[in-house]
Chains A and B, each alone.
Chain A
Amino acid sequence: MATAGRALVATVDSVVHAYGRSSRALDGVTAEFPAGCMIGLIGPDGVGKSTLMGLIAGSRKVQAGKVIVLGGDIADEGHRRDACPRIAYMPQGLGKNLYPELSVYENIDFFARLFGLSAAERRERIPALLEATGLGPFPNRPAGKLSGGMKQKVGLCGALVHDPDLLILDEPTTGVDPLSRKQFWSLIDTIRESRPGMSVLVSTAYMDEAQQFDWLMAMNAGKILGAGTVQEVLDRTGTKDLEAAFVQLLPPEARGDHKELTIPPRKDVEGPPAIVAKHLTKKFGAFTAVDDVSFTIPRGEIFGFLGSNGCGKSTTMKMLTGLLPPTSGEALLFGEPIDAGGVDARKRVGYMSQAFSLYAELTVSQNLWLHARLFHLPAGKMAGRIDELVDRFGLRPYLDHDSGALPLGIRQRLSLAVAVIHDPEILILDEPTSGVDPVARDEFWELLIELSRGESITIFITTHFMNEAMRCDRISLMHAGKVLAADAPAALIAARRAPDLETAFIGYIEDAIGAGAEAGKDEQAREALRRAMSTEAHGGSGPALFSPARALAFARRETSEILRDPVRLAFAFAGSLLLMLIFGYGITTDVEHIRYGLFDQDQTPESRSLDAAFAETRRSFRELAPVASADEGRRRLKADDVSMVLEVPPHFGRDLLKGQKPEVTAAIDGSSPFRAETIKQYAEGTYMTHMQDVYRTQYAGESASPSAGIQPRFRYNPTFESIYAIVPSVPPILMVLIPAILMAVSVSREKELGSIVNFYVSPATRLDFLIGKQLPYVAIGMINFVLLTTLAVLVFGVGVKGSLATLVLCALLYVAATTALGLVISGITGSQVAAVFVTTILTMVPTTQFSGMLQPVSTLMGGARVVGSVWPTTYYMHASVGAFTKALGPRLLLHDALILAAFVPVLMAAAVALLRPQET
């Protein structure tokens, strides 16, 4: 590794990195990265390229070994903070670190703010960068609506906005159309011209791209295979191109008996063409995904569909398989139209969808058996067919492995085996080999060739690799929903007099979009870029603990994102209003209109007057038809016809008048205990009042029957309707549930989608990130407070009798605490789904059970009491019920406010502690 004499931008020494317990992504990597040049990392997916780049960028935590970047140890927190403004990192995946809802300008503006650029600098640099990258005309388009190539340009602008010394690009061009790729690399060239000192570290899946890099590093299975200039690598391996060189660099056992792939010529097969597409068009709303596509594929042909991500390949394919009905035009398989509901045609087609789409949790053998059964292979032949495929596709050693745990190359072979299990006549393969290493890819193609030439199966395959396209009998070039040309690859190259297929493809695209007009702009763009890069950006790492400017950058971005996400907006506002209505009307403890039947075995004026006493308490009791027998009483209770049977014994009236004590019985439906208990109290009360009445009138003056009664004073809620207690208790529940869920989802979402990497690699501190993300949700919480209060007053007629101003203060502090709680939860959950469920489970129990909603905190005991007193809802519940119903003044409410205020710093400290500043 001849880096002697060169300055180094980074060195790694015996670096080991593992995910989980088993797999090692990096297995003792030692390498030197020369400064001031373009370094390419090459190798298939999953060999550790991204891990290595993440370590150098400082987005991943160094586990073992030493990583020196820009003259310091990146594991050192101080150096990392100083270095991060000098490093720009674009992670793998088109637009992975962009915010799809935000516009092009807003995305770049966010990066600039994060790195502390002043307003003047932003105004100057961002338009210049947009101009230079050809994004000038679309500053307001949402990033999610851009093509792959344009997304990468936005990412690049975001990376360049703060003048980095080290630019790290992880597979920036994978899946991008060839013209955009060409433009992307020429842009990188221009940038390097204007900033000669800048080092670029880039990884790629396209070996042909790697030809132009200054320095190459080949990786496989967590190890560096070799490094050097392109010429050195070729010389050392004695090969002509990098793909062959890479295979040569592989250890012999990984290389297998790899040999040059040869494709025998195709024999013509009789019969109608296998696939015919006639003017296929598919529109999604205003967007035309596939525009008037026609082609004919004869039997036994390998037909390639070449194009970038999002050009309409997969949509065309879905129409051919009947997954999507075309907007217009038609597709024929074997001369018959595809019927989306029809099943017979599908038995003649084998389909292998993009990426891995078998059941990862099933074993290889279970997957094969499942498909054999679903295709109804004759019962006697199933085992034989599966056996045959297992041998032919080399799956024998993996039969009992979980499919998801297999290496990519073997998974793809399994997918193919499944796709051909029923002997289809057509095989439709959607990007079957992307990310597979060259050896496995060739093995896969050998199988395809055998199927095509040996069994005359028609193969329709999509790809974005040129060298793969070269192997097809014919290919069609697709761009922006249109087929630009279709012919044998060699014929296409010849027709454009191009040196290779890529150049030919670029030529077709340029013709299609009229790129001639752009030629002149190129120089202008370079000029704009030079201007943009000429002034040094003055941003820096800024304050080390908290920077209001950076926090506001996060807050601004989060706000724009939520405003454009109808689902979360609906959940935040419509959801809370809906729940308020449901809770308000649905939770009521008032027991009214108790249905009862009288079983009167006495039939005297006395028994009738007792019945009247019950029937007259209208709000509580409602009398149904009388009960004739004890049996009927039981039956009617059983059928839920009545909830109570009042049984008056024989001779009730006589006994009563005699001064004896006849026993009246009330049988109550006890299946719902709370209700039964309430009915019991009502019945006892009604009976007692009536009896005292009777005694007073019958024995007036004779016997002392003093009313040792009580005079109940229902404070705060004189009519004792539950609405006055429930309605003020609902906002405290909703103001913890909804802001906490949304907050936790918002952070988990960044983790899941990958945009959190912007926080890892920027100078933003944990406090900047958390407070910045929290502010919009505090605002949502406060808007909810206003909405819910309005609803309580206007719809439920429950007014605020106490101090409104203090209640507002309590609400603000409460929402700050509940969003902080959401931040804490996001620290322990990995996915958005987990965030929703964990937040719900963690908050609902203490909120509804221990916060005084149904049971006053003063009556709780033990653990429940402890939880109740350290849970913020307890205090806000007190404040809310206090201000609404109890008419409490500012003094008592301020007490709650003070306690609520104490929750905020404690929860924030926990959230900071749980947030990882780097990926592991």
Chain B
Amino acid sequence: MERVVNIFWLGVKELRSLRSDTVLVVFVVYAFTLAIYTQAKGTSSEVYNASIGFVDEDGSALSRKIVEAFYPPRFQRPAMIKSGEVDDAMDAGRFMFVVEIPPLYEHDLRAGRKAEVLVNIDATAMLQASIGASYIQNILSDQVSEFLSRADAGFQAPAKLVIRKAFNPNGDTSWFNSIVALVNQVTLLTTVLTGAALIREREHGTIEHLLVMPLSAFEIAVAKVWSNALVILVAVAASMVLVVRGVLQVPIAGSPWLFMAGVVLYLFFATALGVFLGTIARTMAQFALLIILILIVLQLLSGGQTPVESQPIWLQRLTFFLPSRHFVSFSQAILFRGAGIEAVWPNFAMVALVGTAFFAYSLKRFRRSISLSR
């Protein structure tokens, strides 16, 4: 009972300290509102405004029709260049695509001969190159089909594949991005808040002050965990309601309560990580350097930036131990696919497991780290 009282009051102290730190409060508010909005709206999986050049060696009605079929917003207005300029223009990065229409293109097609357009693709622009190439392919075959069917009634094009995107019919990137942004902010702020709270106590000597009182390291650590986790939890809930659902209009398919339960588990891990880093770093500056390295790893490999399935198998096995990967995975499952606990429990279990391991280990380090503080 005394323990619970101690943990409660120490946590209340933590909240009061946080409230008086205006900069941090403003940063938390910013991170869960504006930062999420801009990240959600920032990038797009589709191709926009792609730079394209044409070498028209045919000069026929069809080739002109093809060139005219490329227009904003998907493509910039096509630039006409000469065939000798292609290499230089591509090398200088002026165009992502250069389409070369060969001589007698229309003529060959009308004669039923095979004729192909050469599309130069800057294959170092990974995100847009393949999708853009497909667009070009589609536009081209549409134009050609239309042109030929007008000329030849017997022409028949095969049926197209009907694509239905489940859970996000329009492929709106802001849905997924807003959740990834939320996950990233949770990781960043929770670890920074908790770790900094610990180091600040050590730098100000108040940690010694606490340790000579009838308090155990466990109580001090748990107080930090619950109070900082609570702040972030409230911020996540507010952000979900106001920003994600309110402003960004992302529909939520599954149970918000299940999602929040997952967030609580993840917060347990993130605060434990914060305490752990707080005991490793001897100064605030070391903590800051350390956290940059760790956060980049946690964020990049979480599956939020690029799909986990694309990682090499050996890396996938390693990232299986990253709670951030499971956070992204269960958020996606619950919020978009509407999955229930039966689908996400393995993710929950893994986050809880890693969180407990970190917490236990940092508790062990906690008392030892006191001797390092001068």
The answer to whether A binds B is yes
In the bound complex, what is the Cα–Cα distance between A741 and B290 (angstroms)?
12
List the one stretch of A149-157, A359-367, A458-466 in contact with chain B. A359-367
- A354 contacts across to B, CB distance below 8 A: 205
**Given the contacts A582-B301, A708-B141, A710-B117, A661 and B158 also touching, CB distance less than 8 Å:** yes
List the one stretch of B8-16, B230-238, B241-249, B261-269 in contact with chain A. B8-16
Q: Which chain B residue has the least Cβ–Cβ distance from A366?
A: B16
Assess the A318–B208 pair: CB atoms within 8 A: yes
Complex interface bits, A149-193 against B, C-beta within 8 A gives 1, otherwise 0 = 000000000000000000000000000000000000000000000
Assess the A886–B124 pair: CB atoms within 8 A: yes
Assess the B92–A360 pair: CB atoms within 8 A: no
- B171 contacts across to A, CB distance below 8 A: 670, 673, 676-677
Q: Does B26 contact A (CB under 8 A)?
A: no
In the bound complex, what is the Cα–Cα distance between A340 and B212 (angstroms)?
9
Assess the A640–B311 pair: CB atoms within 8 A: no
Complex interface bits, A546-572 against B, C-beta within 8 A gives 1, otherwise 0 = 000000000000000000000110010
Q: Which of A351, A716, A858 interacts with B209 by CB under 8 Å?
A: A351
Q: Which chain B residue has the least Cβ–Cβ distance from A661?
A: B159
In the bound complex, what is the Cα–Cα distance between A575 and B286 (angstroms)?
13
In the bound complex, what is the Cα–Cα distance between A344 and B216 (angstroms)?
11
List the one stretch of B131-139, B270-278, B352-360 in contact with chain A. B131-139
Q: Does B258 contact A (CB under 8 A)?
A: no
Q: Which of B138, B175, B211, B339 interacts with A639 by CB under 8 Å?
A: B339
- A882 contacts across to B, CB distance below 8 A: 91
Q: Does B77 contact A (CB under 8 A)?
A: no
Assess the B118–A713 pair: CB atoms within 8 A: yes
The CB with the most chain A CB atoms within 10 A, among B109, B124, B172, B370, is that of B124
Complex interface bits, A722-758 against B, C-beta within 8 A gives 1, otherwise 0 = 1011101000000000000100010001000000000
In the bound complex, what is the Cα–Cα distance between A284 and B115 (angstroms)?
81
Assess the A587–B16 pair: CB atoms within 8 A: no
Q: Which chain A residue has the least Cβ–Cβ distance from B108?
A: A706
In the bound complex, what is the Cα–Cα distance between A675 and B285 (angstroms)?
38
In the bound complex, what is the Cα–Cα distance between A882 and B122 (angstroms)?
11
Q: Does B94 contact A (CB under 8 A)?
A: yes
The CB with the most chain B CB atoms within 10 A, among A322, A349, A588, A718, is that of A588
In the bound complex, what is the Cα–Cα distance between A888 and B90 (angstroms)?
11
Q: Which of B172, B204, B283 interacts with A360 by CB under 8 Å?
A: B204
Assess the A351–B92 pair: CB atoms within 8 A: no
Assess the A704–B206 pair: CB atoms within 8 A: no
Q: Which of B10, B45, B161 interacts with A687 by CB under 8 Å?
A: B161
Q: Closest Cβ of chain B: how far from A272's Cβ, in Å?
A: 21
Assess the A671–B176 pair: CB atoms within 8 A: yes
Assess the B309–A593 pair: CB atoms within 8 A: yes
Q: Does B60 contact A (CB under 8 A)?
A: no
Assess the A856–B96 pair: CB atoms within 8 A: yes
Q: Does A8 contact B (CB under 8 A)?
A: no
In the bound complex, what is the Cα–Cα distance between A836 and B56 (angstroms)?
52
Assess the A591–B307 pair: CB atoms within 8 A: yes
List the one stretch of A25-33, A221-229, A491-499, A847-855 in contact with chain B. A847-855
In the bound complex, what is the Cα–Cα distance between A406 and B175 (angstroms)?
50
Q: Which of B129, B131, B160, B307 interacts with A672 by CB under 8 Å?
A: B307
Q: Does B57 contact A (CB under 8 A)?
A: no
Assess the A726–B123 pair: CB atoms within 8 A: no
B275-319 residues at the A interface, CB under 8 angstroms = 283-289, 292-293, 296-297, 300-301, 305-307, 309-312, 315
Assess the B2–A376 pair: CB atoms within 8 A: yes
- A271 contacts across to B, CB distance below 8 A: none
In the bound complex, what is the Cα–Cα distance between A177 and B119 (angstroms)?
81
Q: Does A513 contact B (CB under 8 A)?
A: no
Q: Does B162 contact A (CB under 8 A)?
A: yes
- A708 contacts across to B, CB distance below 8 A: 109, 115, 140-141, 144-145, 148
Q: Closest Cβ of chain A: how far from B54's Cβ, in Å?
A: 13
- B206 contacts across to A, CB distance below 8 A: 357-359
Assess the A678–B116 pair: CB atoms within 8 A: no
B209-241 residues at the A interface, CB under 8 angstroms = 209, 211-216
Q: Does B50 contact A (CB under 8 A)?
A: yes
Q: Does B5 contact A (CB under 8 A)?
A: yes
Assess the A638–B90 pair: CB atoms within 8 A: no
Assess the A706–B337 pair: CB atoms within 8 A: no
Complex interface bits, A656-672 against B, C-beta within 8 A gives 1, otherwise 0 = 00010111111111111
**Given the contacts A568-B289, A691-B158, A859-B96, A681 and B134 also touching, CB distance less than 8 Å:** yes
- A716 contacts across to B, CB distance below 8 A: 122-124
Assess the B5–A343 pair: CB atoms within 8 A: no
Q: Does B34 contact A (CB under 8 A)?
A: no
Assess the A674–B155 pair: CB atoms within 8 A: no
Complex interface bits, B316-337 against A, C-beta within 8 A gives 1, otherwise 0 = 0000000000000100110011
The CB with the most chain A CB atoms within 10 A, among B76, B116, B128, B212, is that of B212
Q: Does A451 contact B (CB under 8 A)?
A: no
Q: Which of A351, A712, A720, A878 interacts with B119 by CB under 8 Å?
A: A712
Q: Does A709 contact B (CB under 8 A)?
A: yes
In the bound complex, what is the Cα–Cα distance between A591 and B134 (angstroms)?
15
- A586 contacts across to B, CB distance below 8 A: 300-301, 305-306, 311, 315
Q: Closest Cβ of chain A: how far from B192's Cβ, in Å?
A: 8
Q: Which of B2, B285, B286, B306 interacts with A588 by CB under 8 Å?
A: B306
Q: Which of A322, A376, A695, A858 interacts with B51 by CB under 8 Å?
A: A858
Q: Closest Cβ of chain B: how far from A470's Cβ, in Å?
A: 27
- A571 contacts across to B, CB distance below 8 A: 289, 293
Q: Which chain A residue has the least Cβ–Cβ distance from B18?
A: A361
Assess the A578–B293 pair: CB atoms within 8 A: yes
In the bound complex, what is the Cα–Cα distance between A756 and B296 (angstroms)?
32
Assess the B91–A714 pair: CB atoms within 8 A: no
In the bound complex, what is the Cα–Cα distance between A666 and B164 (angstroms)?
6
Q: Does A694 contact B (CB under 8 A)?
A: yes
Complex interface bits, A362-395 against B, C-beta within 8 A gives 1, otherwise 0 = 1000100011011110000000000000000000
Q: Which chain A residue has the least Cβ–Cβ distance from B46?
A: A677
Q: Closest Cβ of chain B: how far from A511's Cβ, in Å?
A: 29
Q: Closest Cβ of chain A: how far from B90's Cβ, in Å?
A: 6
The CB with the most chain A CB atoms within 10 A, among B118, B163, B296, B312, is that of B163
Assess the B93–A852 pair: CB atoms within 8 A: yes
Closest A-B pairs by Cβ, 9 of them? A670-B165, A670-B168, A661-B159, A708-B144, A717-B123, A836-B288, A674-B45, A832-B285, A671-B336
Some 16 contacts from A to B, beta carbons below 8 A apart, are A351-B209, A582-B297, A588-B310, A588-B311, A638-B337, A638-B339, A669-B166, A670-B169, A674-B173, A674-B307, A703-B156, A711-B116, A711-B117, A712-B133, A741-B292, A852-B125
- Give chain B's interface residues, CB within 8 Å of chain A: 2, 5-6, 9-10, 12-13, 16-17, 20-21, 42-43, 45-51, 76, 90-96, 109, 112-131, 133-134, 136-138, 140-141, 144-145, 148, 152, 154-169, 171-173, 175-176, 196, 204-206, 208-209, 211-216, 283-289, 292-293, 296-297, 300-301, 305-307, 309-312, 315, 329, 332-333, 336-339, 343, 367, 370-371
